[in-house]
Structure 1
Amino acid sequence: MNPIQIAIDGPASAGKSTIAKILATDLNFIYVDTGAMYRVVTLAAMREDLALQDEAAVTALLPNINISFKPGNPVQRVFLNNEEVTDEIRSVEVTANVSTVSAYAAVRQAMTDLQREIAAAGGVVMDGRDIGTTVLPNAAVKIFLIASVHERAVRRFKENQAKGMDTTLDDLEVAIEKRDYLDSHREISPLKKASDAVELDTTGLSIEEVVNKVKAIIETK
């Protein structure tokens, strides 16, 4: 396969990262977890006890943030200034605040520049919320994954349980609904399906079934 760019977008816990990682492995492509980047910035701001509603303060922190990734099994390892924060960026606190931080223009521009730099050579699978519309508008393949709020909350609940994190299913449903609203209503690069993206509802589908459907879409492109 030619080294194309594959963009996978969708709301929280729609299966983007899981599917993107498998595709990248199967196709021998680079996987870029854009959501993790915004989570790292959010964590960095929280560690500094910044008021996350203070856009200027959060923006001023950007030059001091270095984000890097390393392969891991079963998950890609994420680092903030060479400190591994793979699990910490998935905490309920970071999840509840990442939409606020990721809405800031300077934060989005900094992350978009880094994402485009990584994707420039092609052969990349990138997932997020504005990849097909903003980051990689010329990507050869664009997928928009969706799933019901309840199913997405159940998925996140099981992930948290496996990590020993104590969260209720009801709280996760509320958090996901709030995240959906904030992501789709933000002024800069809101969550939306690109006009040339293929929408795929993952509700009730196994991971293998979703991967096979996405591969079929890639082949047609």
Structure 2
Amino acid sequence: MHDVKNHRTFLKRTKYEDLHLEDLFIGNKVNVFSRQLVLIDYGDQYTARQLGSKKEKTLALIKPDAVSKAGEIIEIINKAGFTLTKLKMMTLSRKEATDFHIDHQSRPFLNELIQFITSGPIIAMEILRDDAICEWKKLLGPANSGLARTDAPGSIRAVFGTDGIRNAAHGPDSLSCAARVRRFKNILILVLFLNVDIKVKHFVTAEVGQIYSADVGVEKTLTFCLGLNCVSVIHLLSELVTWLWSE
């Protein structure tokens, strides 16, 4: 295991009794010799094939048109065998929405999509189960709600959606997409994984250089802004470095 920041080997191959195979799923946090690690992606295709169908986390978004039905949707998610591990209601800015939908930059419906997704609050959730990404996509149904009512009438988009834009909910299409989404700094890092109020995201983003070098002034400011003790701030900085520089 290589420490990118300090350009040195952190850990050579060794036996570690407290780490188990069931702990190794995307999105999980593990502690190895007092160092907290976040599992963000598979190292190669072989590992992805071997572990990809095992327990993993993924993102589930309830869009503005279906927020009023959130209780029903969450009940469906629970009945499908998912465990809801994180939940946060928020409203996206236009820039955040554009960054989030970077895969749709060349699509003619982008402006309509951005206008819709920023028109009201959304609910962002982290959900967990075996083969979570694939199973969540099945539960969602086709992206176009009209098609979903024909091909998957019991799906979330068929029941709660209207069309291809106002389709109730969202989820990553693949492992690589899910990994990119988990790196979406402003929303997922600060809101889902760190449970930090979204109002501090601009401060953290602006100070990323200082955070990376563990600047004392930044530690003091974060301690004040977030009401955390010194030890918590050190862990926060460590996680921010891991996520903000995991490209």
Q: Normalising TM by the smaller chain, what interval?
A: under 0.3
- Give the TM-score taking structure 1 as reference length: 0.26
Between the two structures, name the one with larger relative contact order (CA 8 Å, sep ≥ 6). 1
- Give the TM-score taking structure 2 as reference length: 0.24
Higher gyration radius (CA): 2
